[in-house]
Amino acid sequence: MSENVITTVSQGTGVITLDRPRALNSLSLDMVRAITHTLLAWRDDDAVQAVVVRSSSDKAFCAGGDIRFFHDLGRATPQQGSALVEDFFTEEYALNHLVHHYPKPYIAVMDGVVMGGGMGVAQAGPHSRTRIVTDRTKMAMPETNIGLFPDVGASYFLSRLPGRLGLYLGITGATIGAADALYAGLADHYVPAADLTALGEVLNAGVGAGLPAAIAAFAAPFRAAAGPSSLERDRAAIDRHFGAGSVPAIVASLQHDDSEFARATLALMAARSPLMMCVAHALQQQGAAMSMADCLRMERAAVRRTLENGQVIEGIRALVIDKDHAPRWTPPALADVTDDMVRQILAPAWPDHAHPLRHFHGAA
């Protein structure tokens, strides 16, 4: 078990508390294993009727995977530890699959930063999920900024958002707040941070399987306080531009729009990996018609290809290690990205019988 994951059970509710505040609860392999172990144990435990996942910090629910870990081990030889990066993604995606199909009410208190792998821990399937955001919530799938693509099942859950919101969020890596998360369907309830103590009393009330209904009743009066959604305001533009059919076509469409939204979006995209934006687009196009299991299998192979490509190591170097914010993307420009490059990233990395996630069942 991990020292950064605290678990308790009281009155029918199991609580998983992420406790790595200095790293904004970035997930280590030990943390992934501890969360998985706990959820597997509670899945068949009649004493646990509902699960709550939360943070010990008011700054972050979970900022994603530990990208320093990826960088340091990814540069090493397999003998020195890069095989652990492969283990991390395989086990993280197994956790994402477990969360998606969890048979008991699964409540995520997404206070503070919720990005990347944090979304994978929070976005349970529609039959079990209760996702709470606050006025401190900062949500994003920012992987194209580090030379990766939105993963942890994002090809499933982003592709199912209304209109082209998933493509917009996945390609640009834009950060959204509570109102946008509610509008997009990435959250269910809003609770002001000042009322989280009162929410804690609801979570500790011992109502078991009735916890989602109790949370809904508690949160209902706060809904309007989440404020207006910028995604709703810009929805027509998002659907128009991001429905253009390809990333180059999206950019061309935005370039013919002199609005503040178009200018801001072009600026975001200019900093992202050209290849990974195209991969993100392709993954969502395919994922929209696939099960969560198949999406995770597709993403796992794409991660393997991306690690071979080296984009993510360079992206993390520029953003986190050297902090020069000047990644040397390969290729450097969107015009240089070919369909063959994208197909290479999406190509199967193993025979079906040898895929590390081959045992996932394929139900939606």
- In which element (H, E) is residue 213 found? helix 211-219
Identify the CA nearest to 132 among candidates 94, 106, 100: 106
Cα 166 from Cα 149, distance rounded (Å) = 13
Q: Tokens for 250?
A: 């999206």
Asked if residue 158 lies in contact with residue 141, where contact means CB atoms within 8 angstroms, the answer is yes
Residues 6+ apart with CB under 8 A from 49: 12, 13, 104, 105, 208, 209, 211
Cβ-in-10-Å burial (0-12, 13-18, 19+) of 224 comes to exposed
Q: Cα–Cα distance between 322 and 325 in angstroms, integer? A: 8
Indicate which residues carry an active-site annotation.
65, 117, 143, 151
Instruction: State how far the Cα of 190 lies from the Cα of 186, in Å rounded to an integer.
Output: 12
Long-range pairs, 77-83, Cβ under 8 A, ≥24: none
Rounded Cα distance, 175 and 184, in Å: 13
Q: Tell me the Cα Rg of the chain.
A: 20
Residue 278's alpha-carbon distances to 115, 189, 248, 266, 284, in angstroms, are 20, 32, 9, 15, 10
* DSSP 8-state class, residue 123: -
